[in-house]
Chains A and B, each alone.
Chain A
Amino acid sequence: MTPTGIGLSMFTGMLVLMALRVPIAAAMFIPGALGYWAMTSEPALLNQLKGSAVARLTVYDLSVIPLFLLMGQFATQGGLSKALFKAAAAFVGHIRGGLAMASVLSAGAFGAVCGSSVATSATITQVAYPEMKAHGYHGRLSTAALAAGGTLGILIPPSVPLVVYAILTEQNIAKLFAAAMLPGLLAMFGYLVVIAIYCRVRPDLAQPSAPLPWAARWRALVGIWPIVLIFVLVFGGIYSGLFSPTEGSAVGAVATLVAGLAQRELDLQGLKRSFLGTAETSAMVFLIFLGADMMNASLALTAMPAALAEWVGHLHVPPLAIVTSILIFYVLLGCVMDELSMLLLTIPVIFPAVMSLDLWGLAAEPKAIWFGILVLMTVGIGLIAPPVGLNVYVVNNIARDVPMSETYKGVFPFLAWDALRVALLLAFPMLSLGLVQLLYK
């Protein structure tokens, strides 16, 4: 068989296995290994495998993933989300739809110490959904706001998918985090506007409640100091150059543990739950890495990614149209695949092609950073868009009395803002690059 033939067979085999419920890690690993064997020899494959686990698991920059996951788990089990929601609800809860806004605000703040959207959605839903239900909020609005708000877990740094992108494209994690900050805040405030408009059009969805006295508001605000402190410590440390992102994630994990213990919220059971939650997700992420490594090593041997980059580079199509098509492809792919597998599988192939395009005359590094944020936002769409939005599953798993179809109906206005935001960032790269330039003059 020709290298291209082998490459195509591997790719087809992988897609078939994936469609048949084979764990994605194995669906990439097994055809990848067979392809490697076919391209080289059995000893070469066995030799490659000797070091592949060590090579992947000892990457220093990747240590941020388990450590940020640990930090998010400590924050979850340490009851930090409760204080956040209480504070946000104290200030905006009395507006029509205000508790939904408070959910989005607290999800955004929680996203600043948690890099996973699933963890953010689950945590905030547990505290905010019962409140909204008690106040007579329609399930369509409450669950949709929670699912959309949950995406802020990855849109606002730290962000596991962004770390994965940084590793795959050899970009600076700290710069990518900085580039995500403004678009993330834009997402959050846009969701607030969406809720306000939604409640104006459909006043039956939410009831306003009595405002709290200012003294109570300030008291609730004081309760969120641990989160603020942890965020300032981690990101202040990273951007002042005091420590690297990996060290920052270690500082964050330890600080969140201390905060949880000091507030007497984190007991031995909570610690055990944090450990097991971290274990499950870390292994899941790294297994996908190991599978994708095998697949990508074989694909590289077939020279298909280089050929694709070459082909895209010579297309007579406006570069922005190509990027837009790639993003639309990601939205479609996100309908059936999770975000990490999607990135691990496609970025090694697509990234060189994107880098060969002239986009707004950007230099290589800003272009890579900008494209990373675009991909991140597109991935966020996949998390809430039907037919399979992971966040929608997570929220409905907790809010069991709301049918999933209701949530999907409610999610549309939020999706409209997501699409508009991607378009804005496509047109104005400075939305993400501005802060990077400011911090790294």
Chain B
Amino acid sequence: MIVATLRRLALAFALVGAAAALAAALLTVTSVVLRALTTRPIQGDVELTQFAIAFAISLTVPWCQWRGANIIVDFFTQRLRAARVRQLDAVGALLIAVMFALLSWRSGVGAVAVYQAGETSMIRSLPMWWVYASLSPGLALAALIALLQAGLLFQGQSLKRLQDATP
């Protein structure tokens, strides 16, 4: 139940994230065309792209974690038994959960601080706290997924079946 929900959320986040990146690409292309034809590009296209891509990437992190796509060095542990490897991977999942949780929490705190300071973007004067806040959900979901994986691995379960399920 929890497993299925987290998976569906990660999948949805990833699709929305990639769609946001594509939207940023379309915006940029429109701006380039307008600039060439009318010398009047979209105002602040650069900052809009920056924010959209940052948001997009934060949303793709849970799916990457779900799929186990993070790069690891497996050279020195090739001879270990499968059970021992799972214990190591559980520790790895726990450590990356700490990283995600820290970044999610601190980006949220950053959002509050930036909101109080009333900081806005240079060209379109967009409220900057949105940018900070937009990164929190993806990183938080990734932390939850990594915690779940650590739990399963500590119980000696393999993640292979979960990860390979076709989207």
Contacts and interface: CB of A to CB of B under 8 A. Distances in A.
Contacts of A336: 73, 75-76
B75 A275 contact: no
Contact of A21 (B17, B67, B92): B92
Interface residues of B, number: 62
Interface stretch (B1-9, B105-113, B154-162): B105-113
Contacts of B17: 279, 282
Contacts of B88: 20-22
Given A254-B29, A275-B19, A283 B64 contact: yes
A23 interface: yes
Interface residues of A, number: 65
Interface stretch (A56-64, A102-110, A165-173, A408-416): A56-64
Contact of A286 (B31, B57, B76): B57
Contacts of A22: 72, 88, 91-92, 95-96
- The winner among A21, A51, A247 for most chain B CB atoms within 10 A is A21
Nearest to B35: A243
Given A21-B88, A283-B60, A53 B22 contact: no
A55 to B, nearest CB: 10
A30 interface: yes
How would you classify the secondary structure of chain B's contact residues: helix, strand, loop or mixed? helix
A291 B70 CA distance: 12
Interface string B77-121: 100000001001101100110110011001101100100000000
Contact of B167 (A25, A53, A272, A286): A272
A287 B70 contact: yes
Contacts of B54: 54, 57-58
A146 B129 CA distance: 47
Interface in A1-60: 17-27, 29-30, 33, 46, 49-54, 57-60
A21 B73 contact: yes
Given A60-B49, A70-B18, A46 B106 contact: yes
Contacts of A335: 75
B10 to A, nearest CB: 9
Interface in A86-131: none
6 contacts: A17-B95, A20-B88, A22-B95, A279-B14, A282-B21, A283-B63
Given A57-B54, A60-B49, A280-B14, 20 more contacts: A21-B73, A22-B92, A23-B72, A25-B71, A26-B95, A33-B102, A46-B109, A50-B106, A51-B110, A52-B103, A57-B57, A58-B50, A58-B53, A63-B49, A250-B29, A279-B14, A282-B64, A284-B69, A290-B99, A388-B75
